[in-house]
Each structure stands twice: as C-alpha cells, then as structure tokens.
C-alpha cells in the first residue's frame, strides 16, 4: 500500500510492507503444516472446583513448526479465517483431538471426561454436526462427551444457519459453551436466545479479582459472583478461564463457580504428557 507524501508523491510504507510479508509467511506456514501434518491438538484440563477432579479437556490448536517451534493459534486462525483455510485446519485438529481423547481415555480409564473444541463462526456450516457424528462414531466416542465452544462474537448477528447448527448439536447430545463470556455486546441475552449449557467467564474478569486497585477488585468480584448466579438461574454451568493463583481459585469457589481452567491447575500440553502423568499416578 502507498500513501500520499508531503509533496504529493506516493511514499512506500515500510510498516505495511512488513505486515504483508509476515502475513504471506503465515499463509505459507499453514499450507505447509496441512501438507506435512504439523497441526496438533494440545489439551488443557478443566477442573471441578468442588472436588478438584478433572472433568474435561479443552483442545487448543498448535502449529508445531520444525524450524520455528510451536506457533500459537491467534495469528494463524485470524488469517485462516480470511483465506478460508480454517475449515481444513479445524477438521484436521478436531480429528487429532478425538484420537487424543481415545488415547487419554484408555490411560485414565475415565470415559466421562469431556472434550471441549473451539469452533470459529466460519466452521459452523450445516454439514458440521453430521461430520461430528461421523467422526465421533468412527472413534467410538459418545457425542455427549463433546462440548462445542463458540465465542459471543459468533452469535452477534443471529445468523439463522448458526442457530440451526447449534440446535442440531444440542439434539445429538453435544453441550454448547459460550466462550469469553462478558466481553461481547449482549452477553446476557445470548443465554436466553441460544441453547447454551456452559458459560466460560473471560479471563479478564478473573485477572481483576486480585487487582491492586481496591475498587476494580471489588467490582470484578461482584460481577463474577453475579454472572455465576444468573448463569445458574439459566441452568448453565460456569467455568472460569485463566485461573493462575490459589487466591483466585479460592475466591471462585466461594462465588459458587463450578469449574476452573488455567495455569494454576495445568498448562495446555501434548496429550502424551497427560498420559505419562496418569501412568505415574497409577504406579505410585
Ligand atoms: P480461548 O478459547 O479463550 O482459549 C484460552 C486461551 O487461554 C488459550 O490460549 C490458553 O492457552 C490460554 N490460557 C489457559 N490458561 C491460562 C492462564 O492461566 N493464563 C493465561 N494468561 N492464559 C491461559 P491459546 O492456546 O493461545 O488460544 C488462543 C485462542 O485461539 C483460543 O482462545 C481460541 O479462541 C483460539 N483457538 C485455539 N484452538 C483453536 C482451534 O482448534 N480452533 C479454533 N477455531 N480456535 C482455536
Ligand atoms: Ca475456548
Ligand atoms: Ca476464552
Ligand atoms: Ca441446555
């Protein structure tokens, strides 16, 4: 891109050029990763605050690049949504996550833990519930163990196709989690208008629970407690994201929050690591 200079001449903008190059590089990483099978599904445990047990795992995508190392999802997903590669990536990562869940179930002997999967709005095509049914059947996984995570932004425009896909997911027994709750435009109204089962309170609220500033601390505590009470009235279970300290965990437990997820409990990790932990626990 070019912009007008002082004397009317067109100047080249090095910042924009850099972004274009970076973008092209990510697009290429994505194609290479699809070809060479570099996408992985890391798992982060979700813990029941009542009894400290793991009740589920959230699948978080990673691109394991042989030269650049582990690439986090944010840039990749944003660009893949623009280029349309998100569908192929999503299917690939979902298959990996299902295979991981099978391996983990074998290691833990627990066939009740759920698998939460993030879906971008562009992935919520009419064929997705059918695909999910086919893939879970192939892996002998009960679809009731699948939690479909969507963000509030997905519901913003009340697209009839998205509503239909969510209703279909509910019908086949999947649960629906509303991610990043409290950051959108009409968070509370989504609870009455869509078949939401789980509310995931955004990590920004959890972070301010222990803020240095007393008023922010107080208000965010009131908010989390209030969101929890409303969610429960709407028959939704509540999970807090980004729990990093014992203090946060204890506060959340006091507010009646059902589940927690965050570095305090465990980081997102390769499933082999979780399996090794189960094996160690069994031997000791
Ligand atoms: P998200 O769904 O809100 O996922 C939670 C993010 O918080 C993850 O970042 C996770 O690693 C991070 N996190 C977990 N515990 C803590 C904590 O205690 N402290 C802090 N500071 N962060 C924590 P990640 O893995 O980088 O993922 C970023 C976002 O990318 C996700 O946000 C999700 O929206 C998206 N995403 C990840 N995997 C997929 C995928 O397979 N498909 C799609 N469509 N989106 C995905
Ligand atoms: Ca999520
Ligand atoms: Ca989130
Ligand atoms: Ca429900």
Q: Write the pLDDT tens digit of every residue in 78-93.
A: 999 999 999 999 999 9
- The CB of 61 under 6 Å from ligand 1? The reply is yes
The answer on pLDDT for 7 being more than 60 is no
Q: Who's near 7: CB < 8 A, 6+ residues apart? A: none
Residue whose entry in the numeric block shows the structure tokens 């650049």: 68
User: Ligand 1: which of 76, 118, 184, 202 to mutate, most ligand atoms within 8 Å of CB?
Assistant: 118
- The CB of 118 under 6 Å from ligand 1? The reply is yes
Task: State residue 20's pLDDT score.
Answer: 85
Three-state secondary-structure class, residue 172: coil
The answer on pLDDT for 219 being more than 80 is yes
Q: Identify the band that residue 12 occupies on the pLDDT scale cut at 50, 70 and 90.
A: low
Average pLDDT over residues 180-205: 92
The answer on pLDDT for 153 being more than 50 is yes
Task: State residue 15's pLDDT score.
Answer: 63
Ligand nearest to the CA of 243: 1
- The CB of 74 under 6 Å from ligand 1? The reply is yes
pTM score of the predicted model:
0.93
C-alpha 20/C-alpha 26 separation (Å) is 10
- Average pLDDT for the chain: 93
Using alpha carbons, select from 112, 204, 190 the residue that is nearest to residue 156.
Answer: 190
- The CB of 152 under 6 Å from ligand 1? The reply is no
The answer on pLDDT for 8 being more than 80 is no
Using alpha carbons, select from 175, 191, 184, 283 the residue that is nearest to residue 229.
Answer: 191
- The CB of 263 under 6 Å from ligand 1? The reply is yes
Structure tokens at 134: 């086919």
The answer on pLDDT for 74 being more than 80 is yes
Task: State residue 157's pLDDT score.
Answer: 83
Three-state secondary-structure class, residue 236: coil
Four-point Cα dihedral 90, 117, 58, 111, nearest 10: -120
Ligand nearest to the CA of 87: 1
Structure tokens at 104: 């983990």
Task: State residue 13's pLDDT score.
Answer: 65
The answer on pLDDT for 9 being more than 80 is no
Task: State residue 2's pLDDT score.
Answer: 44
Average pLDDT over residues 131-154: 96
Q: Identify the band that residue 4 occupies on the pLDDT scale cut at 50, 70 and 90.
A: very low
Which protein residue's CA is at the shortest distance from atom 19 of ligand 1? 242
Q: How far is the CA of 138 from the centre of ligand 3 (A)?
A: 29
CA-to-CA dists, residue 158 to 154, 168, 189, 201, angstroms: 8, 16, 11, 21
C-alpha 178/C-alpha 237 separation (Å) is 11
For ligand 1, what atom is nearest to the CA of residue 94?
41
Helix, strand counts (H, E) of the chain: 11, 11
CA-to-CA dists, residue 146 to 149, 187, 197, angstroms: 9, 23, 12
- The CB of 90 under 6 Å from ligand 1? The reply is yes
- The CB of 179 under 6 Å from ligand 1? The reply is yes
Four-point Cα dihedral 164, 83, 92, 44, nearest 10: -80
Indicate the helix (H) or strand (E) that contains 168: helix 160-171
Task: State residue 278's pLDDT score.
Answer: 87
- The CB of 72 under 6 Å from ligand 1? The reply is yes
Task: State residue 19's pLDDT score.
Answer: 83
Three-state secondary-structure class, residue 254: helix
Which protein residue's CA is at the shortest distance from atom 22 of ligand 1? 242
Bridge partner residues of 198 (DSSP): 177, 237
Task: State residue 284's pLDDT score.
Answer: 74
Q: How far is the CA of 129 from the centre of ligand 1 (A)?
A: 23
Q: Identify the band that residue 236 occupies on the pLDDT scale cut at 50, 70 and 90.
A: very high
Pick the range with the lowest mean pLDDT from 6-20, 72-86, 89-103, 119-133: 6-20
C-alpha 261/C-alpha 249 separation (Å) is 9
CA-to-CA dists, residue 219 to 157, 206, 212, 224, angstroms: 30, 12, 12, 9
Average pLDDT over residues 26-47: 97
Indicate the helix (H) or strand (E) that contains 24: helix 14-36
User: Ligand 1: which of 60, 200, 244 to mutate, most ligand atoms within 8 Å of CB?
Assistant: 60
The gap between the terminal CA atoms of the chain, to the nearest Å, is: 62
């Amino acid at each position: 891109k070019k912009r007008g200079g002082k004397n009317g001449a067109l100047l080249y903008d090095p910042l924009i050029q850099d972004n274009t190059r970076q973008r092209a590089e990510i697009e290429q990483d994505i194609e290479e990763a699809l070809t060479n099978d570099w996408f992985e599904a890391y798992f982060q445990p979700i813990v029941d605050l009542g009894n400290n047990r793991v009740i589920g795992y959230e699948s978080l995508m990673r691109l394991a690049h042989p030269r650049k190392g582990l690439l986090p999802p944010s840039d990749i997903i944003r660009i893949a949504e623009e280029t349309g590669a998100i569908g192929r990536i999503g299917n690939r990562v979902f298959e990996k996550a299902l295979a991981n869940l099978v391996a983990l179930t074998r290691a833990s002997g627990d066939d009740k833990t759920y698998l939460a999967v993030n879906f971008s709005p562009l992935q919520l095509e009419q064929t997705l519930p059918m695909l999910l049914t086919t893939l879970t059947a192939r892996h002998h996984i009960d679809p009731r163990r699948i939690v479909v995570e969507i963000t509030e932004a997905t519901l913003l425009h009340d697209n009839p196709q998205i509503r239909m896909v969510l209703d279909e997911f509910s019908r086949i027994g999947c649960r629906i989690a509303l991610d990043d709750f409290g950051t959108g435009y009409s968070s509370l109204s989504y609870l009455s208008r869509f078949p939401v089962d789980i509310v995931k309170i955004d990590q920004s609220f959890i972070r301010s629970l222990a803020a240095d500033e007393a008023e922010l601390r107080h208000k965010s505590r009131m908010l989390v407690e209030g969101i929890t009470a409303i969610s429960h009235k709407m028959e939704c279970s509540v999970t807090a994201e980004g729990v990093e300290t014992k203090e946060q965990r204890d506060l959340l437990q006091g507010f009646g929050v059902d589940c927690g997820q965050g570095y305090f409990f465990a980081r997102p990790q390769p499933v082999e690591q979780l399996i090794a932990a189960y094996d160690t626990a069994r031997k000791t």
